[in-house]
Structure 1
Amino acid sequence: MHPELFKFQLPEFLQGLYSEEIIIYSYGFLISLGALFAFLYTATQAKKQFDVPFHQSADIAILLILAAVVGGKIFFFFEDPIFFIKNPGEILKSFENGFVFFGSLLFCIPTMLIYFKSKKLPILPMLDIMAVTTCIVHGFGRMGCLMAGCCYGLPHDGFASITFHHPASLANPLNTPLHPTQLYSITLISIILIYLLYLKSNKSFQGQVFLTYLILYATGRSFIEIFRGDISRGFIIENYLSHSQFISVLVILSALYFYWNLKRKEIKKG
């Protein structure tokens, strides 16, 4: 696709401070755009439902960006720890790719819990808001993956295939029809988002939207993994259970546990 959105030459008087050419990467641009829309949704809903001031929504956004970057990079490190131990600079060399979504998610969850508790915000209702927020930024992120060629699929000659030609694309191999796993993910996230927007007005207990998001995404992600071609991410059981599938199973089981307990408590109240 188009990993580089555009590039331009800096004026001569700035070239001593920065590189001569500035490249705007599609991945980073779309992630930033998604973060902006996600923040606007969070700030609007938090203000509307719980009168959360704008500056607190901004604080949440900043903390989650930091947690997402740290978590995404740490999990990226564990995909090939021997390589990154020998080449520590590679883990931070580029921010136009090289993140693991589950790492970002699993670091963001405790960050949200700690912040909401410290500010005495209603934890479960706020998590329900954040479920939609996560879908928004994640959807834009997968569009970035499509443009950059990362998270690519296995070779596939069928009707639903995509071929990457750009030399800067991360897809491997280039010039070969592949499963459009990025589009599979975008479709999955879009369907989940639509359902969550319906569910938030019809939920039977607080926290249901967030837990439903975790269950649906982890389930869908475990199936999409079957068609992923970037096998360098590694396996727990070679060729049968990838790291992401293993994490998906843990997320599903944990979410189901809390879902059942919260629902049972609500039934007892009624």
Structure 2
Amino acid sequence: MGSGGAISFPFLSPAWLGLSLVASLALAGILPGAWRRGWVLALGGCAVASLLALCGVIPWVGDLHLTAYAVAMLGAFVIAYVVALHRARRIGIPERQLIDLFMLGLVGGVVGARAKEVMEHWDEFTRLPDGQPRAWGDALSRAADIDGGGMVWYGGALLAAALMIVYLRGRRIPILAFGDVIVPAMLAGLAIGRLGCFFNGCCFGRPCTLPWAMELPGHPGEHLHPTQLYETVACLALAAATFWWWGRRRSDGEVMLGGILGYAIWRFGNEALRGDTIPTTLFGIPMSTSQLISIWLVAGGLALAVVVVWRRRADPRLRELATRVPGSRHARPAPTGEDNQQEGAEARRPEERS
């Protein structure tokens, strides 16, 4: 199922704009607490998106093309959430907070991944084939057309991680403990997402003569490394390894670091087989931008690993505490309704949360 064989159906007609606006106003005036619960903001966001679509800024009015790429991205998000949910509960993170984190990750992931793609191919988005500048509306519309493919995973992962860290610090959720939960989930989701890249024909490999070389969408007559499938297999292996490691770690942060280092090293090697890389240099050594990011991730991961090991040696109790309660040394009983009410009261008293 490639982008050429997409299923189409009407989506976001003008009636949806009016309906979402009316629903927003109705909820604001009728339902108590609608603003606090975010329902009005969510519907208002739909209304804004519809308005942008009607103005031609976002190409969503008319037929929605349901591509394998879009289905895989949705599947990746669902798989990652399901994998993370069970263990998030075991370390005492309520499902409501996990949903907040995943929404931040979704927004940051999509925006960051697409922004990195646009930056790497700036001229393709801002200039016509003859070199003349595009109209700003056309350029913005092309940049917003994420369903057509073209997103850089590292850009999305870094922005999503930054937003999650801000949330975790604000909620006083241990970052390393949550990292041990989210990294295996992200690896599992990425394995599914790369299948979408395969069907879409993006993130393709170099030409080769190997028996498993494939002709991908958009590359007729070429037999290429299926680097997307290579990464699917690698991410499944890394997800399984980190998932197994989680119950055997000696302190928080080990699983997160293992997954990050493993993926960065793998990605550096897989980039050598890619045929769509953006070149750069490090100390005069040619490499791709993703290889450069992988190097920085390995360097940062090793530095953080030194800190984790030092903490474990400085406090011998960490190993015992990490295994005493299933999941994490920070684990606590699942919150009750009364706990959630107290949590909400605390959130309204920021002066007490020094």
TM over 0.5: yes
Q: Distance in 1 between matches of 2:281 and 2:200?
A: 27
Q: Distance in 2 between matches of 1:9 and 1:111?
A: 34
The equivalent of 1:26 in structure 2 is: 68
Q: Secondary structure at the match of 2:76?
A: helix
Report whether the alignment pairs 1:259 with 2:324.
Answer: no
The equivalent of 2:35 in structure 1 is: none
Q: Distance in 2 between matches of 1:160 and 1:151?
A: 17
Letter of the aligned partner of 2:280 in structure 1?
Answer: F
Q: Does the 8 Å contact 1:72/1:102 carry over to 2?
A: yes
Q: Is the alpha carbon distance of 1:121 and 1:162 closer, same or farther for their aligned partners in structure 2, counting shifts above 3 Å?
A: same
Q: Distance in 1 between matches of 2:245 and 2:173?
A: 21
Q: Distance in 1 between matches of 2:15 and 2:222?
A: 41
Q: CA deviation at 1:158?
A: 1.2
Q: CA deviation at 1:205?
A: 1.7
The equivalent of 2:121 in structure 1 is: 80
Q: Distance in 1 between matches of 2:192 and 2:252?
A: 27
Q: Is the alpha carbon distance of 1:10 and 1:106 closer, same or farther for their aligned partners in structure 2, counting shifts above 3 Å?
A: closer
Q: TM-score, normalised by structure 2?
A: 0.68
Matches within 5 A, 1:1-270: 2-3=2-3, 6-10=6-10, 21-50=63-92, 52-86=93-127, 87=134, 88-89=139-140, 90-164=142-216, 169=217, 171=218, 173-231=219-277, 233-236=278-281, 240-270=286-316
Amino-acid identity (%): 21
**Structure 2: segments with no counterpart, 5+ residues:** 17-59, 128-133, 317-354
Q: Does the 8 Å contact 1:4/1:26 carry over to 2?
A: no
Q: Does the 8 Å contact 1:5/1:24 carry over to 2?
A: no
Q: Deviations over 1:22-75 (max 9, x none)?
A: 32011111110111121122222212221x222211111111101101111221
Q: Deviations over 1:177-230 (max 9, x none)?
A: 111101111111011111101111111221111111111101000100111011
Q: Deviations over 1:130-183 (max 9, x none)?
A: 10111122111101111111100111111121112xxxx3x4x32221111011
Q: Distance in 2 between matches of 1:109 and 1:235?
A: 24
Superposed CA RMSD: 2.3
Q: Distance in 1 between matches of 2:251 and 2:107?
A: 30
Q: Is the alpha carbon distance of 1:209 and 1:140 closer, same or farther for their aligned partners in structure 2, counting shifts above 3 Å?
A: same
Query: In the comparison of the two structures, how many residue pairs are matched?
Result: 260
Q: Distance in 1 between matches of 2:84 and 2:5?
A: 28
Mean Cα deviation higher: 109-118 or 76-85: 76-85
Q: Secondary structure at the match of 1:204?
A: coil
Q: Secondary structure at the match of 1:114?
A: helix
Q: Does the 8 Å contact 1:4/1:24 carry over to 2?
A: no
Q: Secondary structure at the match of 2:7?
A: strand
Q: Distance in 1 between matches of 2:63 and 2:109?
A: 28
Q: CA deviation at 1:5?
A: 5.9
Q: Distance in 2 between matches of 1:115 and 1:9?
A: 37
Q: Is the alpha carbon distance of 1:102 and 1:8 closer, same or farther for their aligned partners in structure 2, counting shifts above 3 Å?
A: closer
Q: Distance in 2 between matches of 1:81 and 1:242?
A: 16
Mean Cα deviation higher: 173-182 or 38-47: 38-47
Q: Is the alpha carbon distance of 1:122 and 1:15 closer, same or farther for their aligned partners in structure 2, counting shifts above 3 Å?
A: closer
Q: CA deviation at 1:21?
A: 3.7
Q: CA deviation at 1:104?
A: 0.8
Q: Deviations over 1:78-132 (max 9, x none)?
A: 2123444444322223333121000011112221211111112122111110101
Q: TM-score, normalised by structure 1?
A: 0.88
